[in-house]
Amino acid sequence: MSGLYARHPQRRAIARRITALAATAALAVGGLLATAPAAQAAPPTPVNGATARAYLADLTVRAEGSSSGYSRDKFPHWSTQSGTCNTREVVLKRDGVNVVQNSSCAAVSGSWYSEYDGATWTAASDVDIDHIVPLSEAWRSGANSWTTAQRQSFANDLARPQLIAVTDNVNQAKGDKDPAEWLPSRTSYVCTYVRMWVQVKHHYKMTVDTAEKNALQSSLSGC
């Protein structure tokens, strides 16, 4: 006991009360943290509506190119990101809740909420990693002239909102369609989806065709 508190017992009592209150507060905060629901993870937040509209206006409008020569193999994926983890496993971990991975980085448990259709899955096999701007669409919008390294970077892009974990058959139904042909059935996600699409196309300096641009303008008008 310090000489100060020995000489002033009231100060000693006050100090003990402060310590007790601090401990109680810490326990309360800890309890809140322990019981708080896990946040739904997501791809990087896309640019806002105003920026997306400006980006769209900046894109070159051109008829889609040919699919001639296209192959998914020309967009190497999924690349190793670190250790045994490839891009798919990184996105599964990022977009899921309580995801557990084995020594090979494969997701063995967890849950995934599909923003496109509102379904929740507990098996990674029910989830696809969708390229917001599909590889074939990218090829027809300028990627046919890129190097293989550029296409690989695009196909594994974690820095921009280009990859998202969604219901597998919904992703397959989307295929290589652009927003003039396909939008998420969950209408509350459409604004986010088209902002993602425009940001990715703008970053990679891809073109848009007329119908695609009109559909994007229509959707962005409400964002």
Q: Is residue 30 predicted with pLDDT exceeding 50?
A: no
* pLDDT tens digits along 192-223: 999 999 999 999 999 999 999 999 999 999 89
> Of the candidates 190, 177, 47, 44, which has an alpha carbon nearest to the alpha carbon of residue 117?
190
12 half-sphere exposure, CB direction, 13 A CA radius: 9
* pLDDT tens digits along 111-161: 999 999 999 999 999 999 999 999 999 999 999 999 999 999 999 999 999
* Per-residue burial over 122-153, b = 16 or more CB atoms within 10 Å of its CB, e = otherwise: eebeebbbbbbbbbbbbbbbbbbebeeeebbb
